[in-house]
Amino acid sequence: MSADLPFFRYHPDPLASGSIRESAETCACCELSRGWVYTATFYTARDVSGGFCPWCIADGSAAERFVGDFTDSYGLDGVSEDVLHEVTRRTPGFHAWQDPRWLVHCQDAAAFVGEVGYAELAAHPEALDQLRTDMRLNGWHDESRLEHFLTSLGEEATAMLFRCNNCGVHLAYPDAS
Ligand SMILES: [Zn+2]
Ligand SMILES: [Zn+2]
């Protein structure tokens, strides 16, 4: 990980998640080639010719210039306006099959860790328990089917893992094609 990249509190390792990669591409906002380019979602009605550099994400200039959001505010309930803006306008989004959503804990947005399978999820039993509870609430009443789905994560479906910056707990939601 390059020490030169801006730090994103809500997405601390965008290289590991694949949202930012090394590239000689010119940034669509500052028009400089900074060596790194953003590869994930950006929602805007404007035409954007190419990717953004991490600096134009971090300082909000890309979101401001193209009147867009990196992440939909869906799911970001109960967080302050500042946090909402930091996540949607100054934080790299991530790649997902379905529209990405951001998880919340301790009335703050959680930090996105990455897309994981069962083994990585099982290393954080609290995330696995929370996912199991959420899925039961969403209508997964067949326990053996549910356990099969969870242990198969990483194959067809995956889990999006987050970590609370305040209490350190891990959380996840399932994503599938
Ligand atoms: Zn730029
Ligand atoms: Zn927390």
Q: Render pLDDT for 111-131 as a digit per residue (tens, 0 to 9).
A: 999 999 999 999 999 999 999
Report the pLDDT averaged over residues 5-34.
96
Q: How far apart are CA 75 and CA 167, in angstroms?
A: 19
Report domain extents, the chain: 1-96, 103-177
Percentage of residues of the chain with pLDDT beyond 70: 98
Q: Tell me the CA–centroid distance for residue 108 and ligand 1, in Å.
A: 27
Q: Which residues have beta carbons under 5 A from ligand 1 (an ion)?
A: 27, 29-30, 53, 56
Helix (H, G, I), strand (E, B) or coil at 3: coil
Instruction: Give dist(CA 90, CA 1) in Å, integer.
Output: 19
Distance CA 58, CA 63 (A): 10
> What is the distance in A from the centroid of ligand 2 to the CA of 31?
38
Q: How far is the CA of 77 from the centre of ligand 2 (A)?
A: 14
Q: If you measure from the C-alpha of residue 170 to the centroid of ligand 2, how many angstroms do you get, rounded to a whole number?
A: 8
Average pLDDT over residues 75-81: 93
Ligand 1 centre to CA of 87 (Å) is: 18
Per-residue pLDDT reduced to its tens digit, 24-44: 999 999 999 999 999 999 999
CA of 113 to the centre of ligand 2 (A): 14
- The residue ranking higher by pLDDT, 85 or 1, is 85
- The rounded distance, in Å, linking the Cα atoms of 79 and 124 is 24
Q: What does the alpha-carbon distance between residue 169 and residue 58 come to, in Å, rounded to a whole number?
A: 25
What spatial distance separates the first Cα and last Cα of the chain, rounded to whole Å? Answer: 29
